[in-house]
Structure 1
């Protein structure tokens, strides 16, 4: 330690890239996880306000019966609300818009504050006056329909007056994501509108504020009591401990992805660590030779420089941790406009500790090999300036130790992730790309070594520089290739997904979905659609909502399922019954029931989701529909083309299963030749003639999805840019590390008559060839990875995007040639005499 500290008196020259790489990776990992924990802490601390209750009960398509309502009312202070989608239209019928209706009672909100502009009492805001109930809506609805405060619109069969702008809805996040603007009314107003009919898609929500401050155990006990007392209620129960499960889950998934991206940046930075260590040791040749000549052992030399590397690494780690610790405070303000959840600034030791551990392991994994090689280089070789980077591997011990540390790093990344299979794929892909890139570097050098002799002096020098001892080729290909591969993969996935949403989906998807068609409206509705769209194809099916509560008589809460199948068990699912096999589906197992079947209830399940849940033919599932548990046996599995957005269901039951159950109908209209004017005319006609039917224009929904995908892609690319920044740092470090050899070469060549123009051309061609090889590999590897994700995971059509290819090649060439020439220009400015005197 004494020798190590003495040696460091000369400063940190040559280690700034090292420090930047470590600090960047540690800051990315620690910062992302700290922000995620801050958001989770905000959700936990604001659970009551976000949920709007201590405990929340949700029923679909029915209200609580007398016994259920009495029990809820005696348990705590009760607030009731109802959520549904419907069409709001102008009083003169000239325009309409889809809205997310939320009807509340006089107890709303139990927690938090409803903020409107202007601020009004409940009666003034929602009460009946001059034949119209009051309503509040965000500015988006005012803008969409060209309305002002005091204007009126129709909802169902009732007129509503917009009396205030909705500014803050305290429990909005607990209701989940909506595709349309909110319209808040009273329960009395919703009843007057006549929208709630038997089978209507409406969520009835019952929120309780309990006396005192009930703890977690009391909330869990109350939940169990509700399930035991009313086993067939079929309600979804959520407590303040899990106020926003979708938000928490998405934040967790996104933070895991960003952690893996940060780890990729750290691994890329590890290449910079190895380069910096090699360059530093190369500059210490005389010192190391003197140590060994004076009797120092190889182990002593190894220990001295390992201590120095770790001390410098800790400086970089500390700098990264400082940045990471500040991120939650910065994110608290930045995310306020994006997330409806307060993130709590603070220091999160576990997140910072994990980042520091990753930083230390990365440093050791990449520094041990050059340190081990320096341990065994003879002093005579060092004095002859043969350098540290001699051919061959260090002792087996150092190789095994380096591999073991790298494996530990990968294992920690996998164990830390909630979805370990995805993390394992990511880590395996990173390792594969790392190894292949190393092979690509060797292949480029081998190709240059075997290239035929060319007449151009500059090109001949460039080819020689690519394969000479100590060439930059392996470092440049490895560092830049990892970042470019990640960027190319994400760009191709994003491009294919957005092309599908904006181009392919509208061509195969229906023009409209029609929801909440009552049984006595079906025929008249079909006649109207046929009149307005004579060339269109209308498909009608009965629809109910049901929740799977048991598989083979085992409660779903006691079943461990993978994420790809878990969505089927979360919340209610749309279900239907049919005598015939639905379109856009193919039987993969089993048989369809015959027409007029009257035996035990049967169900056809989608094949992929059934496989994810471990289901097989003959298994049973129990669904709760309208407060009644129905058990059916699986008779077949179907392959469904979800990507067409056609009408498909996870579960299709035999007709006798729900005989007599009240339900509404769902319909789709597909008309490939319809223009925007035709669609607007049809939408207006349906809304005027059937005000209780909800019409969803698919193109409008896809526009919302496309906007969300664009925002998400921007965030992901910004995160992936961290890896590219690390690549640039490593690239500049590799060029700086090779400057000593470049100065030597340039001076000798200039002495032999080479002009500055010839040398610049040679160096530019060298960087151009290396950058082009790296870009081609990044395109190939990124294309394969993106193809797998798009076709195998997203099950969407795939196409290679030329614009992504061109941008990847351009980035590679600009970075390699640009940084290379900036560094080389300084090299060419050296005077020959001082260098020649030291040869």
Structure 2
């Protein structure tokens, strides 16, 4: 819409109607008429809004799809309406009678063990699951061949059958029909376990599944007094109680308060998975919100450039009597209309995300994801998008409101430097605060969300100071003889320079990228190299009390000169802290894991290795008073415990109350034998238990480790041997998957930064046209201007990259060294990559836009100066 068109249209319009509604209707008419010219200058605006809204909508929709799927399939995932779990003991006859009175009961037992070839040449760690004839109560078990479970697991010719996950066949190099040894029994692997309906409720297993019957487990002789076995009793409630699972759970806890039952209903079928989904979706939502806020800078740049291109039109409005509020209304309507278009596109992308990811997620997480459209998640994303667009659009609009018509008609006027009214600034800040409040309200972990938001706000302020510092240094740089360098330095610090936009748009994305990449590098280094070099070679579990000496002799024969450390081990669950039931307490999220489920516990007369007393005193070796316990200092502090407090632990159905005698600083990263709780020996006098041992070999290698593994497995079939290398490989695999997801999230923020950068450079092209024409008129060649602009972009990119490296390294150090308590190593590869990315983006986008500018004819521009 040209100035003449605008004047003509304005002349045709009747005098402005009286009243606010009439003025608003007129503003709508002018806004829609002017938008007929197309979306020129607003493509970056649309991309920024679309990207942020799509990221938030997609993440929340996919998370809702997964949590809804878990909730809808709760009975199948849990294996029943209720699940009762005990560690190291079975139910008593009275307890069994009570459970059977509730409904149909499916019994199972879960433990880790070694399965080996009959000739003893090879073996593998496996997660053994023994089930009865009622399994499964809900869902279906998929096997190859598709035969009744009783047929696959039944006894034939003196051997019980079993089915196993495909990974176990691959590890041992065998086929279905093979005979293997489990404990003291030969079993026939009659089929492949393709899908287990209740696998998610069992938690993370890093060993392949082996399923057999309870009779087959009894024949193996694996279960001994003190063995680390979990007994599960899944109940399908009678029809008259089918909807009262919560009430039944409360009644069971009241009836058997000291039994040590861990009871779950189908409403919390996979609590660990649900917590992880919520935490990860919260993190990705915050990253998406960061991308949206970064995109807000692009919104401000695009609006500023658009309003700058509309200065003649605005001048015409004001010359014909339009007030400042009317002008703001016209362009605010246009901006929010285009923002609505970007929001709609983002919502469409977010809405289809569950349908695209459902099949992929089902392959990774065995939950039948039923994709749908989730209106609440889409509405939340739309609200964030609208608030962000409005907040960042008010800033340039506020400067335009009070610019005089004469200044707007002058092409080189001062329209961009008018001081805005405080009401616009306050409104923008209020909207930003509202965005933060909404993010906090929607977040599951308020502390993490608050830290994230504060960090984002601090990053904006710091980057603003960095940009000011770069301008200050450029203004005070010594005069140089090189014309391109002198022009570049002048462009960096002159009024209306690109410095602030470039540093802000690129700095935040690169800083986030450096932070995440450095954390990922440190985790991989620590687990793959650091921990591996300090960790023992083997863990041995379920060494029977009467076999400890024989086990030591065997290890001395198999691995002379090696170091074997052993400690007694039981499983117990904390039920009370200072006589208060933990189920009724508000537990801090940091230390809450200690109170969830069973924990490994031990007893010792002396202070364990890799531990130091941080508070209190250790008990005498011949201590025989009230039960005492030593608690890990970090976890004790997170739970608010002090020396002298009491805790009650349920072990084998018996409650033991002990007083905290001291706190220990524990070196968990050494992977040596350490426990959160170490009791005085008299606390478990006479309790059946097994032993845990670690083995550190003077000379490792595949051959030596395999010799030890074969020897121990054949001599002690009930002992579970875990190679630390395989466990670390499994952890590394999880970290790799997590790192990939985090990198994708960081890439979203970086893409937003690139969009904002390109928008900022495009917004500055109008001023560059004037500069180029004047300099060419004064004799500057095209090559001189290209070198000047390239030098400017190079300096800005270099400064931004250096800042991103420093800030990202500092943030990564804080996370790794202070929060994770791990050694920190700076990766120069990340630094160099960041510098290269920064320089390529700034110089590439800058020159791409500048090349067109240098071809502008001088006469049309000079006539408007």
Q: TM tier, shorter chain?
A: over 0.9
Matching residue within 154, 166, 176 for 1:127: 154
1:718 aligns with 2:744: yes
| CA 239–608 in structure 1, closer or farther in 2 if over 3 Å, else same | same
1:545 aligns with 2:545: no
- Separation of aligned partners in 1, 2:821 and 2:202: 29
Matching residue within 203, 208, 224 for 1:176: 203
Q: For residue 780 of structure 1, report the CA deviation from its aligned partner.
A: 1.1
Q: For residue 389 of structure 1, report the CA deviation from its aligned partner.
A: 5.0
| SS of equivalent residue, structure 1 residue 662 | coil
- Separation of aligned partners in 1, 2:822 and 2:387: 39
| SS of equivalent residue, structure 1 residue 390 | helix
1:522-533 equivalences under 5 Å are 522-533=548-559
- Separation of aligned partners in 1, 2:418 and 2:828: 41
Quote the residue 1:92 is aligned against. Answer: 119
Check whether the contact 1:88–1:96 (CA below 8 A) recurs between aligned residues: yes
Q: For residue 832 of structure 1, report the CA deviation from its aligned partner.
A: 3.4
Matching residue within 176, 190, 193 for 1:163: 190
1:770-785 equivalences under 5 Å are 770-785=796-811
1:459-474 equivalences under 5 Å are 459-474=485-500
1:594 aligns with 2:620: yes
Quote the residue 2:834 is aligned against. Answer: 808
| CA 648–393 in structure 1, closer or farther in 2 if over 3 Å, else same | farther
| SS of equivalent residue, structure 1 residue 337 | helix
Quote the residue 1:475 is aligned against. Answer: 501
Q: Deviations over 1:479-510 (max 9, x none)?
A: 11111111111001000001000000011111
- Separation of aligned partners in 2, 1:133 and 1:400: 76
- Separation of aligned partners in 1, 2:859 and 2:152: 88
- Separation of aligned partners in 1, 2:532 and 2:397: 59
Quote the residue 1:797 is aligned against. Answer: 823
- Separation of aligned partners in 1, 2:415 and 2:547: 83
1:365 aligns with 2:398: no
Quote the residue 2:852 is aligned against. Answer: 826
Check whether the contact 1:501–1:706 (CA below 8 A) recurs between aligned residues: yes
1:7 aligns with 2:34: yes
Quote the residue 2:25 is aligned against. Answer: none
Check whether the contact 1:374–1:388 (CA below 8 A) recurs between aligned residues: no
1:744 aligns with 2:788: no
| SS of equivalent residue, structure 1 residue 21 | helix
Q: Deviations over 1:772-818 (max 9, x none)?
A: 11111111111111111111111111011111101111111111111
1:22 aligns with 2:49: yes
| SS of equivalent residue, structure 1 residue 376 | coil
TM-score by length of 2: 0.95
1:256-335 equivalences under 5 Å are 256-335=282-361
Quote the residue 2:6 is aligned against. Answer: none
Which residues of structure 1 form unaligned runs of 5+? none
Q: Deviations over 1:195-249 (max 9, x none)?
A: 0000000010100112338565x11110011111111110111111111111111
Tell me whether 459-468 or 749-758 shows the greater mean CA deviation.
Answer: 749-758
Matching residue within 40, 53, 77 for 1:50: 77
| SS of equivalent residue, structure 2 residue 564 | strand
Quote the residue 1:516 is aligned against. Answer: 542
Matching residue within 397, 402, 412 for 1:376: 402
- Separation of aligned partners in 2, 1:322 and 1:676: 53
1:395-544 equivalences under 5 Å are 395-544=421-570
Quote the residue 1:354 is aligned against. Answer: 380
- Separation of aligned partners in 2, 1:173 and 1:214: 25
Q: For residue 132 of structure 1, report the CA deviation from its aligned partner.
A: 2.2
Check whether the contact 2:315–2:405 (CA below 8 A) recurs between aligned residues: yes
Q: CA RMSD in A?
A: 1.4
Quote the residue 1:205 is aligned against. Answer: 232
- Separation of aligned partners in 1, 2:169 and 2:490: 69
Matching residue within 212, 217, 235 for 1:185: 212
| CA 605–392 in structure 1, closer or farther in 2 if over 3 Å, else same | farther
- Separation of aligned partners in 2, 1:369 and 1:798: 41
Quote the residue 2:581 is aligned against. Answer: 555
Check whether the contact 2:183–2:220 (CA below 8 A) recurs between aligned residues: yes
Q: Deviations over 1:573-617 (max 9, x none)?
A: 000011111111111111111122111111111111111111111
- Separation of aligned partners in 1, 2:418 and 2:556: 79
Quote the residue 1:622 is aligned against. Answer: 648
Q: For residue 454 of structure 1, report the CA deviation from its aligned partner.
A: 1.7
Check whether the contact 2:114–2:720 (CA below 8 A) recurs between aligned residues: yes
- Separation of aligned partners in 2, 1:334 and 1:477: 38
Q: For residue 415 of structure 1, report the CA deviation from its aligned partner.
A: 2.2
- Separation of aligned partners in 2, 1:372 and 1:214: 64
Q: For residue 290 of structure 1, report the CA deviation from its aligned partner.
A: 1.9
Check whether the contact 1:23–1:316 (CA below 8 A) recurs between aligned residues: yes
Check whether the contact 2:105–2:233 (CA below 8 A) recurs between aligned residues: yes
Quote the residue 1:573 is aligned against. Answer: 599
Which residues of structure 2 form unaligned runs of 5+? 1-27
- Separation of aligned partners in 1, 2:629 and 2:334: 68
In the TM superposition, structure 1's runs of 4+ consecutive aligned residues that sit over 4 Å from their partners are: 213-216
- Separation of aligned partners in 2, 1:293 and 1:277: 22
| SS of equivalent residue, structure 2 residue 557 | helix
| CA 365–215 in structure 1, closer or farther in 2 if over 3 Å, else same | farther
- Separation of aligned partners in 2, 1:258 and 1:265: 10
Q: For residue 741 of structure 1, report the CA deviation from its aligned partner.
A: 1.9
Q: Deviations over 1:359-378 (max 9, x none)?
A: 12111221111111111112
Q: For residue 146 of structure 1, report the CA deviation from its aligned partner.
A: 0.5
Check whether the contact 2:391–2:431 (CA below 8 A) recurs between aligned residues: yes
| SS of equivalent residue, structure 2 residue 251 | helix
1:733 aligns with 2:759: yes
TM-score by length of 1: 0.98
Check whether the contact 2:563–2:695 (CA below 8 A) recurs between aligned residues: yes
Q: Deviations over 1:495-549 (max 9, x none)?
A: 0001000000011111111000001110000111122222221111110000001
1:665 aligns with 2:694: no
- Separation of aligned partners in 2, 1:569 and 1:610: 11
1:585 aligns with 2:611: yes
Check whether the contact 1:369–1:402 (CA below 8 A) recurs between aligned residues: yes
- Separation of aligned partners in 2, 1:480 and 1:329: 33
Q: Deviations over 1:404-443 (max 9, x none)?
A: 2111211221222111111111111111111111111111
- Separation of aligned partners in 2, 1:398 and 1:253: 36
- Separation of aligned partners in 1, 2:655 and 2:33: 78
Matching residue within 76, 100, 105 for 2:103: 76
Matching residue within 116, 125, 141 for 2:168: 141
- Separation of aligned partners in 2, 1:297 and 1:548: 71
Tell me whether 379-388 or 534-543 shows the greater mean CA deviation.
Answer: 379-388
Check whether the contact 2:410–2:864 (CA below 8 A) recurs between aligned residues: no
Tell me whether 445-454 or 498-507 shows the greater mean CA deviation.
Answer: 445-454
Q: Deviations over 1:457-493 (max 9, x none)?
A: 2222222221222221111110111111111110010
Q: For residue 32 of structure 1, report the CA deviation from its aligned partner.
A: 0.6
Q: For residue 337 of structure 1, report the CA deviation from its aligned partner.
A: 1.1
Quote the residue 2:727 is aligned against. Answer: 701
Check whether the contact 2:793–2:843 (CA below 8 A) recurs between aligned residues: yes
Check whether the contact 1:278–1:388 (CA below 8 A) recurs between aligned residues: no
- Separation of aligned partners in 2, 1:15 and 1:698: 56
Q: Deviations over 1:298-352 (max 9, x none)?
A: 2222222222211111111111111111111112122121111122312222211
